[in-house]
Amino acid sequence: MKVRPAAVAGSFYPADPHRLEAEVRSHLAAADPPLDVRPKALVAPHAGYIYSGPVAGSAFRQLEPWRGAIDRVVLLGPSHFVPFAGLALPSTRAFATPLGDVPIASDAANRLADLPQVVVADRPHSREHALEVELPFLQVALGRFELVPLAVGDAEPEDVAEVLDRLWGGEETLIVVSTDLSHYHGYATAAARDRATADAIVALDMERIAADDACGWNPLRGLLLAARRCGLVVTELDLRSSGDTVGGRDQVVGYGAFALA
């Protein structure tokens, strides 16, 4: 395939482009205004928009002042369906959403070619929602940009950080890690667990984050390691759960939004 088709349009978010853009814009408009600093990286959730869209809006509204200045996005998220070792870059030339095709950076494969933890593979991407659901937010917030999409399997923080070092770039490059937080605890338990995880993220303390704290813990920990080495500061933007966004508090999923600058 030259273009990876949208896998979860119509389920995680609207398939109609007009409805999709309107929903994304509503989440962005409802978020707090952007910080005064340009983010180098964002952490955002990846559930269906009815669940995590408000929290995703808090992350991606940070890009409002930088539209036209950021034209490259390195997007990392977990592989929910295909187990593998390392990080997977697709062979396709673009990812499709109802808002249009997002071109994949043509130089990405060459930049990563000698790293043993990086493979070129389409299977981890074919059904994966963790990267896809971030794209409409990025399309509305940034307009046109090129993408480096990396599904992350079993990878140590050092493996991820090494890849990020290769792709770090300058002010034109944004890094986005896609992850939800705790899964299927009662509301109070989830709030306490997610508070501890958020505190660890703000402290750049990857050692305090475990697999059951965040489904994207592998890319998240790698980002925190790279950010710590680069002296970045983390700002917590939002911390909620599905119990806050759609109600129902017996079993909730946690969502957080963070900016690193």
The pTM of this model reads 0.98
The alpha-helical segments, DSSP class H, found in the chain are 17-30, 49-60, 108-112, 123-126, 135-142, 157-167, 187-202, 217-230, 242-245
Q: What is the pLDDT along the chain (261 residues), one digit of tens a residue?
A: 799 999 999 999 999 999 999 999 999 999 999 999 999 999 999 999 999 999 999 999 999 999 999 999 999 999 999 999 999 999 999 999 999 999 999 999 999 999 999 999 999 999 999 999 999 999 999 999 999 999 999 999 999 999 999 999 999 999 999 999 999 999 999 999 999 999 999 999 999 999 999 999 999 999 999 999 999 999 999 999 999 999 999 999 999 999 999
| C-beta separation of 81 from 116 below 8 A | no
Adjacency order of strands within the sheet including 94-97: 3-4, 94-97, 100-103
Q: What is the CATH class of 3-244?
A: alpha beta
Half-sphere exposure of 59 (CA within 13 A, CB side): 31
Per-domain residue ranges for the chain? 3-244
Query: 10 Å Cβ neighbour count for 249?
Result: 14
DSSP 105: P
